[in-house]
Amino acid sequence: MAYTINKTDGTVVTTITDGTVDNTTSLQLFGKSYSGFGEGLNENLVKLLENAASTSAPTAPIKGELWFDTTTNQLKVYDGTSFKPTGGAKTSTTEPTSPSAGDLWHDSSNDQLYVYTGSAFLLVGPVYTSGQTLSGWKIETLASSGGNKVVSSMYAGNTRVAILSKETFTPSATQTGFAEIKAGLTLNSTLGAVFDGTNTQASAIDVSSTTNTSGTVIAGGNFLRADAADTTTGALTVDADGGVIIGDAQELSITVSSNDVTVAQTSQDKDLKFTVNDGGVTKTPLAFTGSTGAITLTGNTTVTGNTTVTGNLTITGEFENSSSEINIVNDAFVKLNTGNSEADAGIIVETTDTDDARLFYDVSEDKWVAGDNATYSSIVRDSDAVADGDANKNSGFLRTTAAGLITVTNVNLAAVGTDITSSTSETSVAVTTTGQVAKSLKLWGGSTITDDGSNSIAGNRYIETSAPTSGQGADGDIWFVREA
- Per-residue DSSP letters for 191-206? GT----S--S--S---
Mean pLDDT (whole number) for 242-269:
94
pLDDT band at 482 (very low <50, low <70, confident <90, very high): low
For 49, which DSSP code?
A: H
Same domain, 24 and 80: yes
Decide which of 295, 321, 347 is a domain's last residue: 321
Mean pLDDT (whole number) for 396-411:
80
User: For residue 442, is pLDDT > 60?
Assistant: no
Same domain, 109 and 135: no
User: For residue 455, is pLDDT > 50?
Assistant: no
In the chain, the percentage of residues whose pLDDT exceeds 70 is 84
- Please count the other Cβ atoms lying within 10 Å of the Cβ belonging to residue 284: 14
Same domain, 185 and 227: no
Same domain, 59 and 160: no
Domain that holds residue 270: 252-321
Indicate the pTM of the whole model: 0.38
For the segment 39-55, what is each residue's pLDDT rounded down to a tens digit?
A: 989 988 998 889 899 99
Distance of CA 118 to the CA centre of its chain: 66
pLDDT band at 117 (very low <50, low <70, confident <90, very high): very high
User: For residue 291, is pLDDT > 60?
Assistant: yes
Within-domain flag for 30: yes
- Please classify residue 74 by burial: count the beta carbons closer than 10 Å to its beta carbon, then call 0-12 exposed, 13-18 middle and 19+ buried: buried
Same domain, 186 and 219: no
- Please count the other Cβ atoms lying within 10 Å of the Cβ belonging to residue 384: 13
Same domain, 20 and 90: yes
Number of domains within the chain: 4
pLDDT at position 421 is: 63
> What is the spatial distance between Cα 283 and Cα 298, in angstroms, rounded to a whole number?
8
For 7, which DSSP code?
A: -
Decide which of 195, 221, 242 is a domain's last residue: 195
Within-domain flag for 189: yes
Within-domain flag for 358: no
For the segment 365-403, what is each residue's pLDDT rounded down to a tens digit?
A: 888 999 888 888 888 777 778 888 788 887 777 888 888
pLDDT band at 445 (very low <50, low <70, confident <90, very high): very low
- Please classify residue 171 by burial: count the beta carbons closer than 10 Å to its beta carbon, then call 0-12 exposed, 13-18 middle and 19+ buried: middle
65-74, 76-85, 299-308 — which is least confidently predicted? 299-308
> What is the spatial distance between Cα 29 and Cα 25, in angstroms, rounded to a whole number?
8
pLDDT at position 394 is: 76
pLDDT band at 474 (very low <50, low <70, confident <90, very high): low
- Please classify residue 103 by burial: count the beta carbons closer than 10 Å to its beta carbon, then call 0-12 exposed, 13-18 middle and 19+ buried: buried
Within-domain flag for 468: no
pLDDT at position 161 is: 97
Task: Compute the mean pLDDT over every residue in the chain, rounded to the nearest whole number.
Answer: 84
pLDDT band at 458 (very low <50, low <70, confident <90, very high): very low
For the segment 144-158, what is each residue's pLDDT rounded down to a tens digit?
A: 999 999 999 999 999
Within-domain flag for 47: yes
Cα–Cα distance list, 177 to 88, 180, 189 (Å): 40, 9, 5
Within-domain flag for 450: no
Residue 76 · residue 84 · CB < 8 Å: yes
- Name the more confident of 270 and 430: 270
Same domain, 156 and 73: no
Within-domain flag for 272: yes
Cα–Cα distance list, 476 to 443, 446, 447, 481 (Å): 11, 8, 9, 16
Same domain, 10 and 116: yes
53-62, 110-119, 218-227, 333-342 — which is least confidently predicted? 333-342
Same domain, 41 and 147: no
pLDDT at position 479 is: 67
Amino acid (1-letter code) at residue 30: F
pLDDT at position 422 is: 61
Same domain, 106 and 10: yes
Within-domain flag for 162: yes
* Measured distance between the N- and C-terminal CA atoms of the chain, rounded to whole angstroms: 225
Mean pLDDT (whole number) for 421-443:
65
pLDDT band at 253 (very low <50, low <70, confident <90, very high): very high
pLDDT at position 251 is: 93
Decide which of 306, 321, 336 is a domain's last residue: 321
Same domain, 115 and 54: yes
- Please classify residue 107 by burial: count the beta carbons closer than 10 Å to its beta carbon, then call 0-12 exposed, 13-18 middle and 19+ buried: buried
pLDDT at position 268 is: 94
Same domain, 183 and 285: no
Cα–Cα distance list, 240 to 202, 233, 259, 357 (Å): 25, 21, 11, 59
Cα-trace Rg, the chain: 69
User: For residue 254, is pLDDT > 90?
Assistant: yes
